[in-house]
């Protein structure tokens, strides 16, 4: 072999603590190395050109670049060597930046370590051989999990791009949290007025199949060819017959059901349609409150339904959909704020969440948009907003900022004044985070034009004063003194958390999540919608706190990724997959048993059973290689010989 | 390669590409300073890490080896780290029997976002390895010339098959023979004391059949080679377990097999008997009862108490015959489970780490690499494809150094983890009498501890523990670096 | 039943009525309090402000005495004493600290020291609510009470191990079992301002005033206390609080042991009721003889006579 070695300085990132020239000089002495140099920036255009030039002039048939992490630039350099006519897999990297220069300052030790890592890469490369990717057809359909604004945007963009969409929503209607909002910041335009048309578009788009009141049961397969089992949770209403007329909801005698859509600010009926603009506009029976389903004689809804859609015997059903890509947009939930004893553990009816307050203000909410106290129905004149309830609070293990509470609190303060002219709002805040376009101006408006009293500090206790009001004790940290406010209503800006079931879904999708259950993107800055599982993309708050414009942007970004993926008829498989040497295989089937992907099958070769790898299904984990006692199945470029070469390079002294 | 600076030790890390390698990158991006000793080998998944890589590194001069993967339940490939967890835990517990300090090997889980945790893991592990100092080199340790003590208290009888029972068996085989290609049994070998396998293809062959306590060859060793033929086999408890294990692994087919089962109380330990007999010219007569063995050797009458020459492995026999017999002969009620520690394992347990390595070093000087241990093992199904002799993969060099010989023993032992049915043929057939069964017995002990008393070959429906996993392992306390 | 007992200095002075009623109630419940011999100040004030080592040494001596008397559990009525005892036990786990403390003592303190608890928790451990209700002679039915724990009884939470630190309910459970109506009292763990009782008297008056005001607003007949200092601020200094809040409360602030004692049929003398500044006359008048067995789970099911 003729190997070329390039020791990148990465400016001073590597050269600052590694003697790159010395590493290159030592590398030149390694077996099969015919050329070694230490360029300033290997990944830059001149650096890549120099590699191509060296391949030609030194007739190289393999290249080692020692620079940053292969997780960063391996694909870059594979393309470089390919341009110069080499097989892209005749390339290895040594990570001398993240694993060497950035973690130690001892130049001598670093140089020695870098040299050994280069030796490792050279030894590995000596065992490489050209690999060819295979093409396989892809299913050009996309699954979108979650029908909030991010999922809706992704669904519409994909469908408009000609890709059939399967949209799965857990609730009975799409719209997500945005559908519950009254107005949106910083324009104070009606949430339903801007989201409604998009929801209708989803319902009417010929390429979108919507499963509402449904959940993901199981996912198998891989990029290009996923198979998804969807659980259609029972609604006890045959939606093919339901016209959404609402007669049942008017007649239902069980009128004390918890109203999830309205955040429980008023009770509702056991059979409901979430809100007038619901998509799909279909009725659902809440099993917990339905008299008929709890052994009492009722069935009033069945009697009044003009189309006979009620079916008390209905059970969950399952549908399987085949898709080539998945967008996850599962959004968020509010954390359980009742853990805070100082705010009353949820005992006081007039201490409510900001989301419940949205429903109070909303014209289509239970109060018709009239702001009243849940306890006595009176109009509140003094409203205290408490920010960061369950956000930025390491004491309860939630150190993260929920991102959009500062803004909606300002909006709610403004709207409170609009609704009740003689009201006074107070906002307890830690910091006002308003970095978006027109955002800071908006919070200033709340203070300057609407007279909202902003108090920088936390609230230590909220309690009823025994005379119909709430006493709010807090600290004004700017003035350095305690404050005490009498409030008619307290609105808590409750922090967000990953949607319930997010972790379980992540495990089904084989994507990662952080300590708080938010899904992990592939790269914080450069791959914000990709995940580490090819073909699975993220949109919206499921990845981390963000407001509506950011969620919509990410929905579109995820759709763009899907459209990019589907721009081709076929996908190239990763050629670094397991291969069987038939003569070594004894047909014991241990590899079949372990393979996480079912990518190995047994087939007859000359009358004997042998393992055979299904190239398009193998994901290249190498579990089979570690399992096969006789080494008959070898993962390309991570063969026993590759790893042994590396071990020997390190240990044989 | 440049020699390592005097204060650096050689630490090899195997990191999965998706989580831990990314975690190490994250630590780098955060400029989290770490000791420089560790060298990282990137693998796709912790499940790719064959425990033999770790041993290769440790035998070849690594002072410490660290494996790190995705957290359980968060494997990029779904289940790879679940398998890794089992295999690496078995490895960790296996190391001491070789004389290697188990603290020199560790495995843990670090996710791509846990840069700080990675820093902690590297710093702690490096610190621990430095506390241990440079690892002793196998080829450089002082050989420990100490013989394994065999003085095991053996009280059990040995097997005697009555002439009537033997006739019954012969009749049954004769009846079945027309349907079969052959039946595996034993016959007299070079003299009355030594038996060899018998391939019964005709009624004439049947006259040679012998089934007493001298018949120690594990006939199951031949079954995989006879796949595709309809074969009968005479089994006792230990052979039966080997049959079960091969059935579990799909290496033989139940439909092609007819199992004739015999009860067994114990077998004679021929090497020890030969030692007691001394050199002799002719063995003229042999009479065996359950308790005494009478021999006429070179005209002299010699009497031995069988209890003194019962094979030590019979002391660990689980007794009960797995339910695979097509036809059973005789009374099985005398077979009881006994669970004593094999004498070779008890001996090794009594040594400290340094002595153990010295002991194996001395053993390996005597090993002639004849591979008899492997060739007689019913579970060594790789046959011609054994990785000890292949060029690709090239696990072993052709050099016959003590290190390479030891590595061969390690390959054989680790390939039996969770599979060894404890027949002891490996050791019985060793021409230089090395107590290598100790390695398997120790692995069996580990597997039993970790997997609720699992014993290979007892249940035809069981899945070998290293070929499966539990999401929550009851007995594996994962090493924490918090 | 025996319980090793550390009364604390207040018991012999300002809160003599707490001491009297604690002794009387425990005796009525069949629990003998064994006061540890030759005990000293817990180091709460002012020692701990000057030297935490000295404060711990004082406590260590008390714990040592209890250990040598063979106690494995030591109870004290005073939250402040308890806080110091518990903190000392915790700090003594550190060998080097223990060494320093031992240097201040006549002899090294015992290796194994008793666990510490409040009299209230010990009582609840030893006597079930049903037993308590059975032993009652008078019913508290018709009494509206609020329980006030003060800031120290449940804090620091991990040290004191006293129920939900923001919303303890132990007094509520006991008094409900005896028939009283316990009102939800959000300020039950608020600070009465005791620490500023001397340097910042207006602040104390305001803090205590807020607590009294809420209790009065809720319509309570009394605010039930369990801390000598809190009790002093709410009772002895109630006039100052009234001045600060600009209204009159006249709200009795008895110790919970005094209320328990009344229900158990003990005499006002035994319970030191005369020591209370705000008199309990109105409340005493409301006590009724026990009629039906007081079921702790459903006191409201009783028919009022």
For residues B124 and B185, state if they share a domain.
no
What is the mean pLDDT of the segment spanning A566-593? 91
For residues A488 and A630, state if they share a domain.
no
Selecting from C164, C165, C214 the residue whose C-beta is nearest the C-beta of A466 gives: C214
Helix, strand or coil, per DSSP, at residue A215 = strand
The end-to-end CA distance of chain A, in Å, is 23
**CATH number of the structural domain spanning residue A372:** 3.50.50.60
Helix and strand numbers, DSSP H then E, in chain A:
16, 32
Domain extent at residue A108: 3-126
CB contact under 8 A, B249 and A629: no
The strand pair at A62-67 and A91-95 is best described as parallel
Residue A572, domain member (yes or no): no
Tens-digit pLDDT profile for residues A279-317: 999 999 999 999 999 999 999 999 999 999 999 999 999
State how far the Cα of A159 lies from the Cα of A33, in Å rounded to an integer.
Answer: 53
DSSP state of B260: E
**A497 contact partners, CB below 8 Å, separation of at least 6:** A332, A333, A334, A335, A390, A398, A516, A517
Which positions in chain B touch A507 (Cβ < 8 Å)?
Answer: 73-74
Please report the DSSP string for B321-383 in residue order: PPS--SEE-S--TT-----PPPHHHHHHHTS-HHHHHHHHHHHHHH-----HHHHT-TT---G
Selecting from A103, A621, A640 the residue whose C-beta is nearest the C-beta of B47 gives: A621
Asked whether A573 and A134 are in contact (CB, 8 A), the reply is yes
Detail the DSSP E strand segments found in A488-576: 489-494, 496-498, 536-538, 570-572
State how far the Cα of A285 lies from the Cα of A369, in Å rounded to an integer.
Answer: 26
Domains of chain C listed by start with CATH number: 2-120 (1.20.1050.140), 129-304 (3.40.50.11810)
For residues A419 and A478, state if they share a domain.
yes
Selecting from C166, C190, C218 the residue whose C-beta is nearest the C-beta of A466 gives: C218
For residues A159 and A106, state if they share a domain.
no
Which positions in chain B touch A105 (Cβ < 8 Å)?
Answer: 33
Q: Is A520 on the interface with B (CB under 8 A)?
A: yes
Residue B181, domain member (yes or no): yes
For residues B185 and B318, state if they share a domain.
yes
Residue A615: exposed, middle, or buried by beta-carbon count in 10 A (0-12, 13-18, 19+)? middle
For residues A37 and A98, state if they share a domain.
yes
For residues A603 and A486, state if they share a domain.
no
CB contact under 8 A, A99 and B25: yes
Q: Is A466 on the interface with C (CB under 8 A)?
A: yes
Query: Which of A516, A531, A565 finishes a domain?
Result: A565
Please give the radius of gyration of chain B, using alpha carbons only, rounded to the nearest integer: 25
For residues A106 and A171, state if they share a domain.
no
What is the mean pLDDT of the segment spanning A369-375? 95
CB contact under 8 A, B5 and A112: yes
Q: For residue C24, what are the CA distances in angstroms to A438, C13, C125, C145, C258?
A: 70, 17, 18, 22, 9
Domain extent at residue B85: 4-135
For residues B127 and B248, state if they share a domain.
no
Helix and strand numbers, DSSP H then E, in chain C:
14, 9
State how far the Cα of C253 lies from the Cα of A582, in Å rounded to an integer.
Answer: 90
For residues B321 and B347, state if they share a domain.
no
Q: How far is A338 from chain C (nearest CA, A)?
A: 12
Query: Which of A479, A497, A515 finishes a domain?
Result: A497
Residue A643, domain member (yes or no): no
For residues A86 and A183, state if they share a domain.
no
Residue A264, domain member (yes or no): yes
**Taking Cα atoms as reference points, which of B451, B387, B388, B386 lies closest to residue B418?**
B451
State how far the Cα of C187 lies from the Cα of A437, in Å rounded to an integer.
Answer: 43
Q: How far is C62 from chain A (nearest CA, A)?
A: 34
Q: How many CB atoms lie within 10 A of CB B115?
A: 22
What is the mean pLDDT of the segment spanning A397-422? 96
Tens-digit pLDDT profile for residues B355-390: 999 999 999 999 999 999 999 999 998 878 899 989
Residue B321, domain member (yes or no): yes
**CATH number of the structural domain spanning residue B127:** 3.40.50
For residues B75 and B129, state if they share a domain.
yes
Please report the DSSP string for A134-202 in residue order: -EEE----EEEE--SHHHHHHHHHHHHTT--EEEE-SSSSS-TTGGG-SEETTTTEEHHHHHHHHHHHH
For residues B66 and B184, state if they share a domain.
no
**A298 contact partners, CB below 8 Å, separation of at least 6:** A253, A254, A290, A291, A292
pLDDT surpasses 60 at C296: no
For residues A411 and A493, state if they share a domain.
yes
Residue B140, domain member (yes or no): no
Helix, strand or coil, per DSSP, at residue C150 = coil
For residues B70 and B113, state if they share a domain.
yes
Selecting from A115, A620, A640 the residue whose C-beta is nearest the C-beta of B44 gives: A620
**Taking Cα atoms as reference points, which of B122, B19, B23 lies closest to residue B75?**
B19
**C161 contact partners, CB below 8 Å, separation of at least 6:** none
Selecting from C166, C186, C219 the residue whose C-beta is nearest the C-beta of A464 gives: C186
For residues B259 and B227, state if they share a domain.
yes
* Residue in chain A nearest C212 by alpha carbon: A465
Query: Which of B117, B135, B153 finishes a domain?
Result: B135
The answer to which of A355-364, B57-66, B335-344 has the lowest mean pLDDT is B335-344
Q: Which subunits count as partners of chain C given 3+ CB pairs below 8 Å?
A: A
Asked whether A635 and A578 are in contact (CB, 8 A), the reply is yes
Q: What is the ipTM, given to two decimal places?
A: 0.93
Q: What is the pTM of this model?
A: 0.72
What is the mean pLDDT of the segment spanning C32-43? 92
State how far the Cα of C65 lies from the Cα of C71, in Å rounded to an integer.
Answer: 9
Q: Which of residues 111-130 of A touch B (CB under 8 A)?
A: 112-113, 115-117, 119-120
Q: Is A471 on the interface with C (CB under 8 A)?
A: yes
Q: What is the per-residue pLDDT for B343?
A: 86
**Taking Cα atoms as reference points, which of B243, B207, B197 lies closest to residue B423?**
B243
Residue A541, domain member (yes or no): yes
Residue A508 sits at φ, ψ, to 5 deg, of -65, -35
* Total domains in the fold of chain B: 3
For residues B167 and B130, state if they share a domain.
no
Residue A651, domain member (yes or no): no
Q: What is the per-residue pLDDT for C24?
A: 96
For residues B120 and B223, state if they share a domain.
no
Residue A652, domain member (yes or no): no
What is the mean pLDDT of the segment spanning C101-129? 94
The strand pair at A600-605 and A608-613 is best described as antiparallel
Q: What is the per-residue pLDDT for C49?
A: 78
Which positions in chain C touch A461 (Cβ < 8 Å)?
Answer: 186-187, 190
The answer to which of A217-226, A405-414, B151-160, C79-88 has the lowest mean pLDDT is B151-160
State how far the Cα of B219 lies from the Cα of B199, in Å rounded to an integer.
Answer: 10
* Residue in chain B nearest A652 by alpha carbon: B60
Tens-digit pLDDT profile for residues B114-127: 899 999 999 999 99
For residues A387 and A469, state if they share a domain.
yes
pLDDT surpasses 50 at C298: no
For residues A435 and A354, state if they share a domain.
yes
Q: Which of residues 565-584 of A touch B (CB under 8 A)?
A: 576, 581, 583-584
Residue B296 sits at φ, ψ, to 5 deg, of -110, 115
For residues A493 and A515, state if they share a domain.
no
pLDDT surpasses 50 at C305: no
**CATH number of the structural domain spanning residue A48:** 3.40.50
Residue B402, domain member (yes or no): yes
Query: pLDDT-derived band of residue B482, with 50, 70 and 90 as boundaries?
Result: low
Mutate to test the interface with A, among B43, B67, B85 (most CBs of A within 10 A): B43
Residue B303, domain member (yes or no): no
CB contact under 8 A, C190 and A466: no
* Total domains in the fold of chain A: 5
CB contact under 8 A, A596 and B77: yes
The answer to which of A593-597, B152-156, B332-336, B403-407 has the lowest mean pLDDT is B152-156
For residues A304 and A440, state if they share a domain.
no
Selecting from A342, A462, A465 the residue whose C-beta is nearest the C-beta of C214 gives: A465
For residues B189 and B245, state if they share a domain.
yes
Residue B460, domain member (yes or no): no
Q: How far is C247 from chain A (nearest CA, A)?
A: 15
Asked whether B43 and A622 are in contact (CB, 8 A), the reply is yes
pLDDT surpasses 90 at A413: yes
Q: How far is C257 from chain A (nearest CA, A)?
A: 26
Cα-Cα-Cα-Cα dihedral sign, residues B150, B151, B155, B161: positive
What is the mean pLDDT of the segment spanning A508-522? 86
Mutate to test the interface with A, among B25, B38, B65, B384 (most CBs of A within 10 A): B25
Q: Is A345 on the interface with C (CB under 8 A)?
A: yes
For residues B131 and B274, state if they share a domain.
no
Asked whether B83 and B465 are in contact (CB, 8 A), the reply is no
Residue B284, domain member (yes or no): no
Q: What is the per-residue pLDDT for B154?
A: 61
Tens-digit pLDDT profile for residues A42-86: 999 999 999 999 999 999 999 999 999 998 899 999 999 999 999
Q: Which subunits count as partners of chain B given 3+ CB pairs below 8 Å?
A: A
Which positions in chain A touch C166 (Cβ < 8 Å)?
Answer: 340-342, 345
């Amino acid at each position: 072999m003729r190997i070329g070695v390039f020791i990148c300085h990465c400016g001073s990132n590597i050269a600052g603590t590694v003697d790159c020239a010395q590493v290159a000089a030592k590398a030149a002495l390694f077996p099969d190395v015919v050329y070694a140099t230490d360029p300033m920036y290997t990944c830059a255009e001149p650096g890549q050109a120099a590699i191509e030039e060296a391949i030609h002039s030194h007739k190289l048939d393999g290249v080692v670049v020692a620079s940053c992490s292969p997780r960063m630039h391996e694909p870059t350099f594979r393309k470089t060597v390919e341009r110069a006519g080499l097989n892209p897999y005749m390339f290895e990297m040594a990570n001398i930046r993240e694993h060497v220069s950035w973690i130690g300052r001892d130049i001598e030790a670093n140089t020695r370590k870098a040299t050994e890592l280069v030796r490792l890469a050279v030894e590995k490369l000596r065992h490489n051989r050209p690999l060819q990717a295979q093409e396989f057809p892809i299913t050009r359909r996309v699954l979108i999990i979650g029908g909030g604004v991010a999922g809706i945007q992704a669904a519409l963009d994909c469908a408009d791009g000609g890709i059939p969409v399967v949209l799965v929503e857990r609730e009975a209607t799409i719209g997500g949290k945005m559908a519950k909002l009254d107005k949106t910041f910083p324009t104070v335009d009606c949430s339903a007025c801007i989201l409604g048309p998009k929801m209708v578009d989803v319902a009417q788009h010929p390429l979108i199949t919507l499963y509402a009141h449904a959940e993901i049961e199981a996912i198998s397969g891989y990029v290009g060819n996923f198979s998804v089992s969807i659980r259609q949770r029972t609604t006890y209403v045959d939606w093919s017959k339901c016209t959404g007329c609402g007669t049942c909801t008017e007649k239902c005698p069980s009128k004390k059901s918890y109203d999830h859509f309205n955040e429980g600010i008023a009770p509702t009926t056991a059979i409901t349609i979430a809100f007038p603009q619901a998509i799909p506009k279909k009725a659902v029976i809440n099993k917990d409150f339905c008299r008929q389903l709890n052994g009492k004689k009722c069935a009033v809804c069945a009697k009044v339904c003009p189309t006979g859609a009620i079916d008390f015997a209905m059970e969950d059903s399952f549908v399987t959909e085949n898709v080539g890509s998945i967008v996850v947009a599962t959004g968020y939930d509010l954390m359980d704020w009742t853990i805070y004893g100082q705010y009353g553990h949820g005992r006081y009816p007039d201490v409510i969440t900001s989301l419940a307050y949205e429903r109070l203000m909303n014209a289509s909410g239970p109060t018709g948009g009239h702001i009243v106290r849940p306890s006595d129905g009176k109009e509140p004149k003094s409203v205290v907003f408490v920010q960061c309830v369950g956000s930025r609070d390491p004491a309860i293990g939630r150190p993260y900022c929920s991102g959009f509470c500062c803004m909606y609190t300002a909006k709610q303060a403004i709207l409170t004044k609009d609704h009740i002219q003689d009201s006074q709002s107070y906002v307890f805040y830690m910091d006002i985070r308003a970095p978006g376009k027109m955002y800071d101006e908006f919070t200033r408006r709340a203070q300057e034009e609407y007279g909202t009293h902003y108090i920088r500090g936390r609230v230590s206790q909220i309690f009823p004063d025994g005379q119909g009001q709430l006493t709010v004790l807090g600290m004004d940290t700017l003035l350095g003194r305690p404050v005490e406010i009498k409030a008619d209503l307290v609105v808590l800006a409750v922090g967000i958390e990953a949607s319930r079931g997010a972790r379980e879904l992540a495990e089904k999708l084989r994507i990662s999540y952080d300590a708080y259950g938010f899904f992990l993107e592939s790269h914080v800055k450069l791959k914000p919608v990709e995940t580490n599982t090819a073909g699975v993309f993220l949109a919206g708050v499921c990845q981390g706190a963000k407001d509506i414009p950011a969620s919509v942007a990410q929905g579109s970004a995820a759709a763009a990724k899907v459209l990019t993926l589907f721009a081709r008829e076929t996908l190239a498989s990763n050629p670094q997959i397991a291969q069987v040497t038939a003569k070594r295989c004894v047909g014991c089937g241990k590899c079949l048993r372990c393979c996480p992907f079912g990518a190995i099958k047994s087939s007859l070769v000359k009358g004997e059973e042998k393992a055979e790898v299904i190239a398009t299904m193998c994901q290249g984990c190498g579990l089979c290689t570690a399992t096969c006692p006789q080494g008959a199945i070898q993962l390309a470029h991570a063969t026993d010989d590759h790893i042994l070469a590396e071990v020997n390079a390190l240990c044989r002294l | 390669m440049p020699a390592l600076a005097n204060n650096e030790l050689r630490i090899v890390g195997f990191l999965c590409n998706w989580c831990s390698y990314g975690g190490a990158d994250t630590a780098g991006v955060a400029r989290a300073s770490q000791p420089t000793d560790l060298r990282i080998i990137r693998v796709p998944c912790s499940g790719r890490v064959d425990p033999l890589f770790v041993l290769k590194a440790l035998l070849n001069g690594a002072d410490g080896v660290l494996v790190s993967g995705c957290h359980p339940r968060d494997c990029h490939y779904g289940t790879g780290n679940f398998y890794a967890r089992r295999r690496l835990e078995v490895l960790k517990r296996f190391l001491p029997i070789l004389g290697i300090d188990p603290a020199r090997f560790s495995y843990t889980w670090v996710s791509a976002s846990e840069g700080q945790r990675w820093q902690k893991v590297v710093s702690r592990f490096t610190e621990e390895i430095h506390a241990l100092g440079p690892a002793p080199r196998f080829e450089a340790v002082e050989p420990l010339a100490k013989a394994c003590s065999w003085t095991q208290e053996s009280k059990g009888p040995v097997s005697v098959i009555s002439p009537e029972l033997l006739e019954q068996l012969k009749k049954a085989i004769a009846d079945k023979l027309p349907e079969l290609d052959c039946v595996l049994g034993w016959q007299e070998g070079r003299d009355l004391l030594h038996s060899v396998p018998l391939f019964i293809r005709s009624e004439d062959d049947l006259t040679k059949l012998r089934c007493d306590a001298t018949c120690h060859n594990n006939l199951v060793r031949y079954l995989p080679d006879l796949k595709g033929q309809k074969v009968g086999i005479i089994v006792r408890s230990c052979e039966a377990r080997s049959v079960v294990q091969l059935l579990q692994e799909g290496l033989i087919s139940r439909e092609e097999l007819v199992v004739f089962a015999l009860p067994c109380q114990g077998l004679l330990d021929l090497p020890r008997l030969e030692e007691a007999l001394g050199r002799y010219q002719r063995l003229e007569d042999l009479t065996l009862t359950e308790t005494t063995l009478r021999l006429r050797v070179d005209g002299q009458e010699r009497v031995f108490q069988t209890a003194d020459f019962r094979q030590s492995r019979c002391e660990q026999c689980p007794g009960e015959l797995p339910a695979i017999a097509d036809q059973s002969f005789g009374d099985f009620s005398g077979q009881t489970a006994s669970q004593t520690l094999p004498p070779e394992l008890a001996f090794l347990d009594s040594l400290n780490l340094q002595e153990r390595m010295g002991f194996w070093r001395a053993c390996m000087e005597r090993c002639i690499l004849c591979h008899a241990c492997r060739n007689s093992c019913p579970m060594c199904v790789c046959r011609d494809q054994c990785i000890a002799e292949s060029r690709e993969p090239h696990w072993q060099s052709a050099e016959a150094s003590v290190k390479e010989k030891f590595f061969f023993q390690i390959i054989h032992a680790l390939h039996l983890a969770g599979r060894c049915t404890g027949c002891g043929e490996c050791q019985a057939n060793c021409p230089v009498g090395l107590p290598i069964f100790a390695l398997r017995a120790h692995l069996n002990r580990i597997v039993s501890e970790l997997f609720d008393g699992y014993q290979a070959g007892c249940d035809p429906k069981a899945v070998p523990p290293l070929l499966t996993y539990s999401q929550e392992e009851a007995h594996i306390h994962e090493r924490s670096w918090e | 039943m025996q319980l090793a007992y550390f009364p604390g200095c207040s018991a012999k002075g300002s809160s003599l009525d707490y001491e009297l009623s604690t002794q009387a109630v425990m005796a009525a419940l069949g629990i003998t309090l064994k006061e540890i011999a030759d005990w000293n100040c817990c180091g709460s004030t002012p020692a701990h402000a000057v030297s935490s080592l000295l404060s711990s040494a004082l406590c260590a001596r008390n714990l040592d005495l209890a250990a040598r008397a063979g106690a494995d559990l030591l109870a004290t009525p005073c939250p402040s004493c308890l806080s110091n005892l518990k903190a000392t036990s915790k700090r003594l786990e550190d060998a080097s600290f223990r060494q320093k403390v031992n240097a201040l003592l006549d002899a090294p303190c015992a290796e194994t020291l008793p666990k510490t608890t409040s009299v209230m928790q010990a009582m609840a451990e030893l006597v079930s609510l049903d037993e308590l209700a059975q032993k009652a002679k008078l019913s508290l039915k018709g009494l509206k009470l609020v329980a006030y724990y003060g800031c120290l009884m449940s804090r620091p939470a991990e040290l004191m191990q006293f129920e939900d630190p923001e919303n303890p309910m132990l007094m509520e459970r006991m008094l409900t079992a005896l028939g009283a109506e316990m009102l939800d009292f959000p300020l039950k763990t608020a600070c009465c301002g005791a620490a500023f009782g001397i340097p910042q008297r207006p602040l104390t008056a305001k803090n205590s005033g807020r607590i009294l005001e809420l209790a009065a607003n809720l319509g309570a007949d009394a605010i039930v206390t369990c801390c000598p200092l809190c009790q002093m601020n709410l009772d002895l200094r109630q006039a100052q609080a009234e001045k600060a809040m600009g209204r009159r409360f006249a709200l009795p602030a008895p110790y919970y042991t005094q209320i328990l004692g009344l229900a158990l049929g003990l005499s006002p003398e035994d319970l030191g009721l005369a020591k209370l500044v705000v008199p309990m006359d109105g409340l005493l008048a409301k006590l009724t003889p026990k009629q039906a067995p007081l079921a702790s789970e459903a006191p409201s099911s009783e028919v009022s006579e």
